[in-house]
Amino acid sequence: MSPGRPAGLRPGWLAAGVVTVLVAMVFGLAFGTVSLPPGGVAMEMINLLPEVQVDSGLSDREVAILTELRLPRVVLGLLVGGMLALAGAAYQGAFRNPLADPHLIGVASGAGLGVTVAIVLGAGAGEGMTGLPVGVPAAAFVGAVGAVALTWVLGAAGGRNRSPATLILAGVAVSAFLSAAQTFLLQRHVESLREVYSWLLGRLSTAGWHDVRMILPYAVITGAIVLAQRRELDVLTVGDAEATSLGLHPQRSRYLLILAASLGTAAAVSVSGLIGFVGLIVPHTLRLVVGPGNRALLPLSVLFGAAFLALTDLLARTAGGDAEIPIGVITAFLGAPFFVLLLRTSKTEPT
């Protein structure tokens, strides 16, 4: 593999990603039940910078809506979207499978089962501001790692000649099993049904900055590990034998990437619920535009994934009028046709 410039992150694409995030942020802050002028919102965001004081033209009430209600939600959406897209790109590279996605290979379902267990067993004690037990991220991580391990074992049963779809079929089986376990658990604890069901549909409602502070350390750890491994991920695409000859330890790198991606997925799922297909749509769209090199793909996945979910959340908040549409429903409407198209056009290759 050539380490030439086309595989690297070009400044133009980095600038486009940053601008897209800023635009998504301004739109997410400006529009909702109460619409605010985008120009005033942008100026108020500048006003939040240290040692900066400008007149945004917004009233005290509008500033309160902006900073106390919408800003925490938009920032949470940026974090969740960036983590899910980064995790999807990491899974696709680690498994050498273009169809791998946190939602499709059972990771989100495993994290969901872990969260359900935490809600059922921890409800009423040690809760955060949003009502979720403080141990939710740890429970989600255990469930996510267990699910990805089970999917990997089942997918490996096809041997060297297995197709990329084998992993997806294994993920479907694991997701079905975990969903059955989750349903059984909820049947035994009906009092938690409403809370868990609301969470399963996916949402970014937040009370202040609690959720942002809760998942920020996980986002930093996931981003640091996966982005630091982006060159190793490029080497993994040539196969384990070739990677070993180049001085890489394929299994060690793969396990590290999978664990880091599972950590990010678990943290995202613990506060947002099951939001599917972000890790499929964003990396694949970027791969078609900027190429398969992970040195560019991974950081751009963070930026465009963040913007994608912030804009999707805006659509969820405004498209249904007074009733907010669960964000998981919106991403499923967008992702399901995308997945079918991708499945039809993907080539059957050994993994």
Which residues in the chain show pLDDT less than 70? 1-7, 123-134, 158-165, 206-207, 346-351
Tens digits of residue pLDDT in 47-75: 888 888 888 889 999 999 999 989 999 99
**What letter does residue 65 receive in the DSSP assignment?**
I
Tens digits of residue pLDDT in 149-205: 888 888 777 665 555 567 778 888 998 999 899 889 888 888 777 777 777 778 887
In this predicted structure, what is the pLDDT of residue 76?
A: 95
In this predicted structure, what is the pLDDT of residue 134?
A: 61
Q: Taking the alpha carbons of 320, 78, 44, 209 in that order, is the dihedral positive or negative?
A: positive
In this predicted structure, what is the pLDDT of residue 335?
A: 87
In this predicted structure, what is the pLDDT of residue 158?
A: 60
For domain 68-345, which architecture applies?
Orthogonal Bundle (1.10)
In this predicted structure, what is the pLDDT of residue 161?
A: 54
Nearest-10 crossing angle of helices 136-155, 210-228: 40
Its pTM stands at: 0.85
Token pair for residue 316?
Answer: 């969820």
Closest CA to 101 of 321, 265, 271: 265
Neighbours of 286 (CB within 10 A): 23
Sequence ranges of the domains in the chain? 68-345
In this predicted structure, what is the pLDDT of residue 339?
A: 79
Cα–Cα distances (Å) from 5 to 86, 120, 293, in that order, read 22, 51, 10
Interior/surface letters 168-185, b for 16+ CB within 10 angstroms, e for the rest: bebbbebbebbeebbeeb
In this predicted structure, what is the pLDDT of residue 6?
A: 41
Q: Are 36 and 29 in contact (CB under 8 A)?
A: yes
